[in-house]
Structure 1
């Protein structure tokens, strides 16, 4: 069969090119077929699974060891148990609380440290994000819990990654209580420190500003204990 010179030259040229370029050497009819084939539906590639940043901490430290004996003595004189009372928890690796309380003559003090750890989850977000949301909820609860009055909420710097203090008043059985709560997020762990005081009988109610100052100092200490004692890793 007779072939035109241009077509013959084209076929010979294509015989020497690398395989990856052979598609470019097809005839006009081949190009038409390729065009038709390109119009057919192709299965889409599977979408990538969502990823989140790994959580810094994977396990909580002993909650009753987050405050030193000196701090307990200063904040809770005559504490019933200086080592603290661990409150019930289904899993102390992710949620734990410790209570100290004491009565020095007619001056009552109660101190609670609660820890909550959040792991990163592709469906729920990073541990830090989840912890931040929980911290906001804790601050809101502290300002509205029970029959508290005169709530004062304030963002504070210098304690963990973010911190909020909540000061309230409450009357229990005729006695005036001053309640101070410090909610702190450090990475993917939330610390909720509650410090309450009251004066029974002839004793005066404690100064709220002094209680808050002590509560913030104790919260800073707890943040340091998390950094040293919590197990790191996602």
Structure 2
């Protein structure tokens, strides 16, 4: 019997855009699975970069960045009209403690009401240029503090010319570790998220919509701290069937899986 879950191995990486080959001998079902796996890689990429940007927004104000990739950046702070501006600058092709190369600058603006705006400038992670405006706000519901992310003009561009345009709205909270100075014990839960992606790649372009099906969580103690370890995202390519992207049961060793078609 064929497995009801398709492992997605080695999906989560910044080198995400490449040649998506067609195989003429494929059945329609096999081709749909290939296209959906391709769609899932792009969702994972967007999700991972957004989680890294959220991490930067939370960690940059700290004094000590030892133990995080931010230790390889030059961080400058200044008080400006309306709040505090912090610039995070990476030298060209700097290889950080997570073995990922970065270059360019990220400018963060922290406002008195707790909101944060982030603007990348020539910011490149691995082989991917990251651009757009990333805006965070805060909300408290039933004594739970949430961080809200809104991106309307996000774009990731690969060195091979392929790119993703996307808009995202997310809501997250710290489920564990909020009261300690060590970020490695933090567990982050994303309980609401909606994604719209336009992927421009060879040989075809793809439109993808996705949303949280069950809350997904991150464990900063994992080596790859920005890939979710539990929960599910429901997604659909334009004109195709729906599938679930399943992250696991909360273990660092869990690998994302793709469900069969959701009826």
Return the TM-score normalized by structure 2: 0.29
Higher alpha-carbon Rg: 1
Structure with higher helix content: 1
Q: State the structure with bigger RCO (CA 8 A, min sep 6), 1 or 2.
A: 1
Return the TM-score normalized by structure 1: 0.32
